[in-house]
């Protein structure tokens, strides 16, 4: 088995491509060792001590190194962990946790959704799913809808895109422009 790596726009993150499906659907992000307890693979990557974020996508794993970490030493460790995991066909998540289901909770919304905005929200989510999410996944990340109110769309960047120096430009110039073009009610996009 061969695991490819790709750089991402975030210099602290690398995207690892195992050549196999990682997640059946959705994504799963781990932002701490405690959160990673749901996944033996994520926990092993955090156990290197130099990792602050792990995200599983459909066919990739993005890993963000801690400030000051040296990728030349960390990368072989992560590749070895991934090789062991995929060669042994170990489960991605611990049994019985339902941790592979990535469903944003209502608590994750930053504003209360109004019933009259349902059509606008559906349009926004459709554009995020079909146009934005595939592009962001190409950079080792994901994007989550966090709400819509009075023309403002609230989004959260995840994985390699979280904390990326160009994430603000991506939100303001790329995603905001796309949403404004297709959904005239949208006036602004903000990071949640």
- pLDDT (tens digit, 0 to 9) for every residue of the chain, 192 residues total? 899 999 998 999 999 999 999 998 889 999 999 999 999 999 999 999 999 999 999 999 999 999 999 999 999 999 999 999 999 999 999 875 545 444 444 456 778 888 999 999 999 999 999 989 888 888 888 888 999 999 999 998 888 777 777 777 778 788 999 999 999 999 999 888
Structural domains in the chain, sorted by start? 4-88 (3.30.1370.70), 106-191 (3.30.300.130)
Ramachandran region, residue 68 (left: φ > 0; alpha: ψ -120 to 50; beta: rest) = left
> How far, in Å, CA of 175 to CA of 48, rounded?
34
> How far, in Å, CA of 24 to CA of 155, rounded?
23
CB 27 within 8 A of CB 104: no
CB 160 within 8 A of CB 29: no
Cut 0.85: pTM above it: no
> How far, in Å, CA of 28 to CA of 45, rounded?
14
- Residue recorded with tokens 């990792």: 51
Q: How many CB atoms lie within 10 A of CB 84?
A: 12
Residue 165, classified by CB atoms within 10 Å of its CB into exposed (0-12), middle (13-18) or buried (19+), is exposed
């Amino acid at each position: 088995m061969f695991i490819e790596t790709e750089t991402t726009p975030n210099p602290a993150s690398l995207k690892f491509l195992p050549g196999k499906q990682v997640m059946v659907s959705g994504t799963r992000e781990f932002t701490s060792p405690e959160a990673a307890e749901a996944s033996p693979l994520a926990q092993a990557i955090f156990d290197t001590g130099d990792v602050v974020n792990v995200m599983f996508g459909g066919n990739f794993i993005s890993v963000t190194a801690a400030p000051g970490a040296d990728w030349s030493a960390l990368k072989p460790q992560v590749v070895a962990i991934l090789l062991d995991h995929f060669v042994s066909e170990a489960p991605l998540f611990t049994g019985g946790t339902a941790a592979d289901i990535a469903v944003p909770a209502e608590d994750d919304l930053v504003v209360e959704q109004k019933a009259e905005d349902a059509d606008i929200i559906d349009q926004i989510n459709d554009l995020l799913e079909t146009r934005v999410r595939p592009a962001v996944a190409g950079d080792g990340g994901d994007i989550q809808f966090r709400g819509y109110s009075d023309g403002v769309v609230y989004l959260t960047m995840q994985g390699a895109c979280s904390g990326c120096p160009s994430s603000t430009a991506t939100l303001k110039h790329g995603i905001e422009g796309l949403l404004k073009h297709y959904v005239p009610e949208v006036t602004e996009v903000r990071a949640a």
